[in-house]
Amino acid sequence: MSGTHKLAPVLAALALTAAALAGCTAAAPTAVQTSKASAPTVDTERLTVAAPTPQSTESKTCSGMSEVYSDGGGLYWERRGTLRDLGARDFARGEVAVDANGTPVTYTVEPGDVEAVVAERLCAYPTLGSMNHRRDIHPGQVLWLTPDPDIPWVPYYSPDDAPAGFPQIPYQQAIESAGAAVDAGDVDTVRAIWSDTLKGMFTNQGTIDAVQKVVDSGDLDALRQLFS
């Protein structure tokens, strides 16, 4: 047999081997691509299921501060807007009393409380001290939050129509003394402070008559709105 005839079977075998190897090499990338293409789908589904659903913060924030103001000369005040108790926090850890609808009615001041933070907690107009006839709030004080629009409210710093040079300090001291008497249930002392000191500091006869009516009634809740 010639050399060419002897090499033919060998070359044929080598060709078949090369073809088989080529087929294996071509199939491998297909398997890798399939594996890579399926991985993101699985991971995405896992993250979607595991991710926590974001919770609404609406219940933890105020839609707006509830304000107290007067439509008629500063004598009769009312609150407009909804008070809400957003929960105790640093500098506002006092106890809140609510009505049948869950609306805050009073707040008892704790040591370390800050007026602005208390107002933020309650979505309340941030002058709770002066609204309660105090320059500042103090531990143990019970803040009333919503005035009765049918009962007069006396300003803490001075009457609305106070002239220049008005004796503000004696006025505030008299208001605080009347408030302390109200808190003690001492109506006679409240009447004496009004008649002997405060009454003469007002010039508007309508205001004097409205306050006098409440003082004469002896109604502690109404007197508390006036002075405490």
Composition of the chain by helix, strand, coil, percent to 5: 50, 10, 40
State pLDDT tens for residues 42-77.
333 332 223 333 333 345 688 888 999 888 767 999
Backbone dihedral angles phi then psi of residue 182, each to the nearest 5 degrees: -60, -45
Nearest to 106 by CA among 86, 88, 128: 128
Using a pLDDT cut of 70, give the percent of the chain over it: 73
92 closest CA partner among 70, 109, 77, 71 = 109
What value does the mean pLDDT take over residues 2-30?
46
The residue ranges of every structural domain in the chain are 62-150, 154-228
**CA separation for the pair 179, 10 (Å, rounded):** 118
Least confident residue range of 17-31, 62-76, 134-148, 150-164: 17-31
Place of tokens 């709770």: 128
pLDDT at 168: 95
Q: What is the mean pLDDT of the chain?
A: 80
* Range in 71-75, 157-161, 198-202 with the lowest mean pLDDT: 71-75
The mean pLDDT of 114-128, rounded to a whole number, is: 94
**Does the pTM of the predicted model rise above 0.75?**
no
